[in-house]
Chain A
Amino acid sequence: MTVEPWVVATGLIFVYLLATIVLGIVANRRMTVDMEDFLLYGRKAGFVVLYLTVVATFHSAFAFLGSGGFFYTHGIGFWAAGTWTLLVGAITYVLGPRIWALGKAFGYITPADMLADYYESEAVRVAVAIVSVVFTILYIQVQAQGLGYIINVASGDRISFELGTLILLVVAATYLMAGGLRAVYWTDVIQGVWMYLAVWIGATYLAYELFGGPVELWRQVREVHPELLSLPGPRGFFTPGMWIGMTITLSFGIVFQPHMMIRYYTAVDSKTLKLLGATTPIYLMTLYIPAALVGLGGAVAMPGLEVPDTIFPELLFAHAPPILTGVILAGATAAAMSTLDSILHANMSVLTRDVYQRYIVRDASQSHYVWVGRGIVVALLVVGYFLSVRTFDFLVVLVTLSGSGALQLGPAIVGVCFPGPRTLTRSGVLTGLVGGLVVLYLTLVVIPHPLGMHGGLWALLVNTALAVGVSMVTAPPSEETRARIHGEVEREVYGSPS
């Protein structure tokens, strides 16, 4: 009896989903009813777990689907991805230990905790919480859409995009609610390993199956689509301004999102974060090598795809054995879910800590807040689902929009983490943030990317100028707060207060 490919592919994805739920249940048994444990893994994450959760969270449906689609459409310019992955490593190396030290010393759980404490402002807390949630909800949409694509393609259109999205959202929310961040981290370990192996094995298999190897693949791309091998690409997308803009927004912009920043709080010590910063680019950057083979090879082997993002699964179904296709698509599912669960968790943390605990019910038990967090996950699931099925757009553009929003937190974060003779003020960072978001809207929606420079970068420039300018004429945080927080940074980074 021959089993149809879609049965194998869909079956393997469901086996994988079951495994994540089992891990969630096991994590639940290890959990203590305490917000630090539920939201921050008890600040005990060691190198291996933290490494795999960071890389799995950074790489999402976008790495599996969007990047292949981007190489397919815009050519080799997407290899710029290496620049932002390297920058993520450097940012983690420099910023990670500072954020970790402040989180540990002052009990911060969310990015807004840190910023509101330093700038002595509840308005800053609310503004940061809003930016954190609004822009990462877009990211939930991206991941959920990626999951819908994957399961829809894997099942040969037997499971609709909408149903696939719902199933995978429910599974991610279930293990998150069961085991908190511990469940997210444990599943991310599997997901991080699985997705890396899957994309490399799948791309290598296709390169040999379709072309006899990567060398011949490149030769044929050069012969058939030479325009894909130079900058700015066949549609002129990768202009210098866009290259720089994507580098900044997809590095700083993603690191400043709450689901990444919260990971810095969870490390067991600061050395772990430095090691993480030095080594994560190896994983993050090398994942785009097979993506290039898939996208560029796909442009030769399967031209004219209506939805370029589906090039990888389409090639697998057409040319790979069912079992391999299933394993790889489960890896793609892992890529999307590992990011989705982290975003759900981060939004839950922000809404529970910065909104509910702060403004609605202040002095309830730890157990109360854990249950409220679980309720918030259900609400986020509903919002994420409706956002996902109502709009449909090119994955990477949405990711860029998400990164551009969080990027606007940059000046405020730098003001906290880098002690100096002058500092930003609460009025400065709030004015900069509002100005940056207005400019972001103008330069991404009204007049996209003026003068060929990425809208996120225009917004950051205006934001920074406003933050610095207004800070020069308004009252800084108190000397006591500056000494307390900057003193802690000095102790961590330089060994003694300045």
Chain B
Amino acid sequence: MPRTRDGWIATIAFVALFLLAMPPVTHTVWNRVDPTVGGFPFLFVALLAVYCALVGVLVWALRRGV
């Protein structure tokens, strides 16, 4: 378990975002083609955005020394 405030923030943010890349969200909310973004289907772009946010959490944790 995290023992610092930053540790808790990073853990909760990562888990919450990760759940957005998991069923049932993937198979319901994200599971459509429209609206497309730059021609790319919605499902693809939505997941890419979640993945980028997850990388952001890891980098934030690194910078905060978690």
Contacts and interface: CB of A to CB of B under 8 A. Distances in A.
Interface stretch (A99-107, A214-222, A359-367, A407-415): A214-222
Contacts of B54: 86, 90, 281
Contact of B61 (A86, A231, A244, A278): A278
Contacts of A93: 58, 61-62
Interface string B35-50: 0101111011001101
Contact of A82 (B14, B31, B47): B47
A226 B34 CA distance: 12
Nearest to A242: B23
A86 B55 contact: yes
Given A79-B47, A215-B38, A218-B39, A230 B33 contact: yes
A274 interface: yes
A90 B43 contact: no
B48 A82 contact: yes
A148 B47 CA distance: 34
Given A93-B58, A229-B33, A76 B43 contact: yes
A292 B51 CA distance: 16
Contact of B14 (A79, A90, A231): A90
Contacts of A80: 21, 26
B3 interface: yes
A475 interface: no
Given A90-B58, A231-B31, A232-B27, A494 B41 contact: no
A83 B18 contact: yes
A229 B14 contact: no
Given A229-B41, A278-B62, A240 B48 contact: no
A89 B51 CA distance: 11
Nearest to A216: B39
A289 B44 CA distance: 9
A281 B26 CA distance: 20
B43 A278 contact: no
- Which of B24, B38, B47, B55 has the most A CB atoms < 10 Å from its CB? B55
Contacts of A79: 43-44, 47
Interface residues of A, number: 38
Given A82-B21, A89-B55, A292 B39 contact: no
Interface residues of B, number: 29
Nearest to A226: B33
A231 B27 contact: yes
B24 A240 contact: yes
A83 B44 contact: no
Interface in A244-258: 244, 247
A465 interface: no
Given A83-B22, A285-B51, A215 B62 contact: no
A66 interface: no
A274 B41 contact: no
A244 B23 contact: yes
A297 B34 CA distance: 19
B21 A83 contact: yes
- Which of A76, A215, A278, A494 has the most B CB atoms < 10 Å from its CB? A278
A90 B62 CA distance: 11
Contacts of B23: 240, 243-244
Contact of A231 (B21, B26, B48, B50): B26
B44 A292 contact: yes
Nearest to A86: B54
Contact of A219 (B14, B27, B39, B48): B39
Contacts of A281: 51, 54-55, 58
A19 interface: no
Contacts of A274: 62
Given A82-B48, A90-B14, A231-B27, A218 B22 contact: no
B12 interface: no
20 contacts: A76-B44, A83-B22, A85-B51, A87-B18, A90-B58, A93-B61, A216-B39, A218-B36, A219-B39, A222-B33, A226-B33, A230-B31, A230-B32, A232-B27, A240-B23, A244-B23, A277-B58, A279-B58, A281-B51, A281-B55
Given A79-B47, A215-B39, A277-B58, 10 more contacts: A76-B43, A76-B44, A93-B58, A216-B39, A230-B32, A231-B27, A277-B62, A281-B51, A281-B54, A285-B55
Interface of B: 3, 14, 18, 21-24, 26-27, 31-33, 36, 38-41, 43-44, 47-48, 50-51, 54-55, 58-59, 61-62
